[in-house]
Structure 1
Amino acid sequence: MKEAERKGKAVVVGGSIAGLSCAHALIAAGWGVVVLEKTSCPATGCATGAGLGLDPLAQKVIKSWLDEPHALDLTTLPLTIDQNEATDGEKKINWMLTRDESFNFRAALWSDLYGLLYKALPPETVRWGQTFLSFCVSDDGNCVRVKAKASQSGEIVEVAGDLLVAADGCLSSIRQSFFPEHKLRYSGYCAWRGVLDFSENEDSDTVLALKKAFPDLGKCLYFDLGSRTHSVFYELLNKRINWIWYVNQPEPQLTGNSVTMKVSSDMIAKMHEAAEEVWLPELVKVIQETKDPFLNVIYDCEPLGQIVWQNVVLVGDAAHPTTPHGLRSTNMSVLDAAVLGKCLEKWGVENRTSALQEYQSTRLPVTTEQVLFSRRLGRIKQGLRLPDRQPLDPIAASREDCEELQQKKMPFLSDTPSILSHIKQLQKLICYSSISKTLDLKHLYVIVVLVWV
């Protein structure tokens, strides 16, 4: 078989949303894919993922990977409004600072999106219970070999491929092998998080009061800014409220390979008491009635100057750990995967070096700016100092202050990479999919030609 005709093989380390997205994008590009994931089975309701927001481009990309694109809309809720509010904790009142009614995101539960992506992959794509150990590149640079340990048997397995994709998260051990001195940067605050399930009690006093105080719940991403703190909350599908509360504090000591802390009942009780001093009673009740809240330590890192080496590439949080204030982590992971797949498809296996260089030159300028903007946005909303401005007091916020709070200020938010320009045409084809069921192949062919022309 000629090199140009050979099918490439990628080994993806990490089976979270970034890894599954890469699997979809590379399979669509004609590559064989093996995903190595350390957990023993697919996630079914992982609390640490909680809620997330998908931007318009990420929605289109994900739909292009699904046999039934409408399934994404069926498992998410629209977020058409981005609203920032100031809260006076002493007087228990709040008021609007900014409102953007053209937001066009969609809200998803992490496990719902994960399940959608996983079920749409070919069987056996993901190998469960495989803990990454090491990798090595052949002397000629044409092959990469990955070693992993099977959790059940303890057996050491080796998988070879043309490309290693590091999708192993913000604590990436593969990134560490290239940047041993590069450390995560603590933001100065942690995030209490939780999801209140009110599906069995839709008319409870807590839910009715919250909807009265925040009438656009169900389509609005609410940011409430207090004194040196802020919270985020929005509704998810199936009668659930996702909330996040950011708290300034010294950096906690983490154990294990996770940024999620184990919390005690005492810690939760103190958090509940503190919430009463800061937020409106309607939001406090939601926080207090949420089962099993958890605590994330918020990190990012200084943007990297390189994310590809020979036949190794970083994607998602492995490439650009970010704070969550711009809703970028999942969206950047999806776009990383899509751009990587299209670059590999364009250049072919024999020219993967050129493909990876195009991936890097396309994504690095964007992700660098978005990481830094998210960092700045978080510090502003938390009332922390920045070199060029005093800490924000939301109660006395100026018009200029309010302008800085909006998600639409995110760099490159509305930009579509040129290599993904096909996504727009593909969406037109998706719109015609239901029509095609009633047309013969001759008529369908005419529609396809017209759309792509």
Structure 2
Amino acid sequence: MRGGRVAVVGGSITGCAFASAAVRAGAEEVVVLERTRGRLADRGVGLCVHDDRAAELAATGALPAGIAAHPLARRRWLVRDDAAGPAGRVFWEQPFPFHSYHWGLLWRGLREATPPSVRYRQGAAVAGVADAPGAAGGQAEVRLADGSVEPYDLVVGADGYRSVVREAVCPDHLPQYAGYVCWRGNLDAARLPAVTGTDPGTWPSDAVATVCFPGGSCVVYRIPGPDGLRVNWVLYATPPQVGCLPYDDPTSFPPGRVTEQLTAHLHEVLDRHFPPYWARVLGLTEPGDVHVQPLYDLAADRITAGRLLLAGDAASVVRPHTTSGAAKALQDASAFEAAWRAAGSWAGLVAAYGASRGAAGRELVALARRLGRAQVERTPAWAQMDGPAADTWWQAQLAGAPDIGGRAMTP
């Protein structure tokens, strides 16, 4: 099937991947509608992609070559143990075959790989969409914030966890607050010698550190940055219950706007539970590089309706514990392209995509919930664990899933 006019609502990682996939599959016209006027490259910090998923996505064309990535090989789980020294005690080390990315650099690589025929319209805020069979010039309509209405043959919702397109596909589905938040931060890795001294073995470059404490955990790893390596960290814990904003509506506290209470709670966790070395590493983060993200999840019963389909976080909101967000978005784009190439009609394309990706999103949401319960909501007695106990605990959370990072795509 060739031809057609496609709108992609949202111009971040998912949107760029879908725009490129639509052109490769044969769309005549592709328009990306991105509400932000500024630089998207300033959003986000670090993420990881499983090596197997990266190879698969490179083969489909969804992950362009040449994007900066940092190799990771192992994940060390550790607890504070003053007798073991300032870096704490490692009670388990597991393989971690991933590469880390900087969100902005990954987005930039995907944006630069978008075919020049794609019209990328910034400042185009979408107020609503509708499946409109028989509408002149197209079978779906996009209503912009300025009141104008544009017809398309297909509309892709790549507009994240607050998706406007999702409101049309499944209006009764809203992201649900998970009950805890994550503090995120990053810093220049060149500052690490102020903490590590002359011992390069304290934290090898290919190692992810997971600091475990009662009621939470923190993942720390290196990522490529625009000017060299950076340290990215994500700390999961329940926020203070008094004086904070309600989290029943998806929200976040961006850099520079984290409340004093949330900042004080972070420092309390570091002082009380972290090995001194890791508390000092996180303490190097500038206040303007820290933000707080309340966590939500959503597993939609359907991800398509008529000429509308959902992708990435718009289709399923997954807590970050699965380390699969970027890979899942790019897999969605690959499945979309494959469904298009095999379809003889728009209805066939939408049906094939929904059958391919709906269950994948719901599976990731379920896994992330299990991991969240185990690593934040109902943490085990970390200090009593050793390698075999930790491995048994981990396999129980996976519950048959081969690993985190997402599954291989079904051929």
With normalisation by structure 2, the TM-score equals: 0.85
1:232 and 1:416 mapped to 2: Cα distance?
24
Q: Following TM superposition, by how much is the alpha carbon of 1:352 offset from its aligned partner in structure 2, in angstroms?
A: 2.1
Q: Following TM superposition, by how much is the alpha carbon of 1:207 offset from its aligned partner in structure 2, in angstroms?
A: 4.6
Q: Following TM superposition, by how much is the alpha carbon of 1:65 offset from its aligned partner in structure 2, in angstroms?
A: 7.2
Q: Which runs of 5+ in 1 are unaligned?
A: 150-154, 386-390, 420-453
Q: Aligned with 1:259: secondary structure?
A: coil
Task: Indicate how the Cα distance of structure 1 residues 333 and 296 shifts in structure 2: closer, same or farther if over 3 A, else same.
Answer: same
1:41 pairs with 14, 38, 58, which one?
38
Q: Following TM superposition, by how much is the alpha carbon of 1:283 offset from its aligned partner in structure 2, in angstroms?
A: 1.3
Task: Tell me if 1:247 matches 2:242.
Answer: no
- Contact preservation (8 Å) 1:169, 1:317: yes
The structure number with the bigger radius of gyration is 1
1:13 pairs with 9, 12, 22, which one?
9
- Contact preservation (8 Å) 1:78, 1:106: yes
Written as runs of structure 1 = structure 2, the 5 A alignment for 1:281-430 is 281-291=276-286, 292=288, 293-301=290-298, 303-348=299-344, 351-382=345-376, 384-385=377-378, 391-397=379-385, 399-405=388-394, 411=401, 415-419=407-411
Q: Following TM superposition, by how much is the alpha carbon of 1:37 offset from its aligned partner in structure 2, in angstroms?
A: 0.5
Task: Indicate how the Cα distance of structure 1 residues 66 and 197 shifts in structure 2: closer, same or farther if over 3 A, else same.
Answer: farther
With normalisation by structure 1, the TM-score equals: 0.78
- Contact preservation (8 Å) 1:369, 1:411: no
Task: Tell me if 1:213 matches 2:202.
Answer: yes
Task: Indicate how the Cα distance of structure 1 residues 380 and 191 shifts in structure 2: closer, same or farther if over 3 A, else same.
Answer: same
Task: Indicate how the Cα distance of structure 1 residues 267 and 364 shifts in structure 2: closer, same or farther if over 3 A, else same.
Answer: closer
Task: Indicate how the Cα distance of structure 1 residues 136 and 333 shifts in structure 2: closer, same or farther if over 3 A, else same.
Answer: same
Residue 366 of structure 2 aligns with an amino acid whose one-letter code is L
Q: Does 92-101 or 10-19 show the bigger shift?
A: 92-101
1:183 pairs with 163, 174, 178, which one?
174
1:392 and 1:324 mapped to 2: Cα distance?
20
Aligned length: 392
Task: Tell me if 1:108 matches 2:101.
Answer: yes
Match of 1:165 in 2: 156
1:375 and 1:180 mapped to 2: Cα distance?
23
Q: Aligned with 1:39: secondary structure?
A: coil
2:336 and 2:120 mapped to 1: Cα distance?
19
Q: Following TM superposition, by how much is the alpha carbon of 1:209 offset from its aligned partner in structure 2, in angstroms?
A: 7.3
- Contact preservation (8 Å) 1:11, 1:159: no
2:83 and 2:213 mapped to 1: Cα distance?
10
Q: Aligned with 2:129: secondary structure?
A: strand
Q: Aligned with 2:340: secondary structure?
A: helix
- Contact preservation (8 Å) 1:308, 1:356: yes
2:194 and 2:69 mapped to 1: Cα distance?
25
Task: Tell me if 1:145 matches 2:169.
Answer: no
Match of 1:444 in 2: none
Task: Indicate how the Cα distance of structure 1 residues 9 and 258 shifts in structure 2: closer, same or farther if over 3 A, else same.
Answer: farther
2:222 and 2:111 mapped to 1: Cα distance?
24
Q: Following TM superposition, by how much is the alpha carbon of 1:66 offset from its aligned partner in structure 2, in angstroms?
A: 6.5
Give the superposed CA RMSD: 2.9
Residue 121 of structure 1 aligns with an amino acid whose one-letter code is T
Q: Following TM superposition, by how much is the alpha carbon of 1:285 offset from its aligned partner in structure 2, in angstroms?
A: 1.4
Q: Aligned with 2:235: secondary structure?
A: strand
Q: Aligned with 2:317: secondary structure?
A: coil
Q: Which runs of 5+ in 2 are unaligned?
A: none
Residue 194 of structure 2 aligns with an amino acid whose one-letter code is D
2:72 pairs with 60, 68, 79, which one?
79
- Contact preservation (8 Å) 1:36, 1:127: yes
Task: Indicate how the Cα distance of structure 1 residues 175 and 396 shifts in structure 2: closer, same or farther if over 3 A, else same.
Answer: same
Task: Indicate how the Cα distance of structure 1 residues 285 and 135 shifts in structure 2: closer, same or farther if over 3 A, else same.
Answer: same
